[in-house]
């Protein structure tokens, strides 16, 4: 009898948490700690020519190339590595 009551209490707590989570997500509440934000769609990504990392252009370091295009780098270290490679050519 005591085990049944304990299991019923656990079930009610879990059900309450599930309902609260469902209502919070329907209301647009922020995500709980530890949960990842869904990936944004439709954001154009650029590729770093040195390490190959893809990142949004707003987070990249832009550098005009010789041919008139723009090169995007993820860090100053990658930009310097690219410049060193260009000097060797």
> What residues does each domain of the chain span?
1-31, 46-88
CATH superfamily of 46-88: Ribosomal protein L24 (2.30.170.20)
What is the reported pLDDT for 15? 94
Which residues are paired to 60 by β-bridges?
none
What is the reported pLDDT for 1? 85
Contact between 44 and 56 under an 8 Å Cβ cutoff? The reply is: yes
What is the reported pLDDT for 53? 93
**One digit per residue, pLDDT tens: the chain, 89 residues?**
899 999 999 999 999 998 988 887 776 655 555 555 555 577 889 999 999 999 999 889 999 888 889 999 999 999 999 999 988 87
What is the rounded CA–CA span in Å between residue 36 and residue 62?
Answer: 28
Q: Distance of alpha carbon 58 from its chain centroid, rounded?
A: 14
What is the reported pLDDT for 36? 56
pTM, 2 dp: 0.52
In eight-state DSSP terms, residue 75 is: S
What is the rounded CA–CA span in Å between residue 61 and residue 46?
Answer: 11
């Amino acid at each position: 009898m005591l085990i049944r009551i304990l299991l019923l209490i656990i079930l009610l707590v879990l059900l309450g948490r599930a309902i609260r989570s469902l209502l919070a997500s329907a209301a647009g509440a922020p995500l709980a700690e530890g949960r990842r934000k869904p990936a944004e769609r439709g954001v154009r990504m650029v590729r770093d020519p040195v390490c190959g990392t893809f990142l949004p252009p707003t987070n990249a370091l832009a550098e005009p190339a010789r041919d008139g295009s723009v090169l995007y780098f993820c860090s100053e270290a990658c930009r310097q590595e690219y410049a060193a490679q260009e000097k060797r050519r």
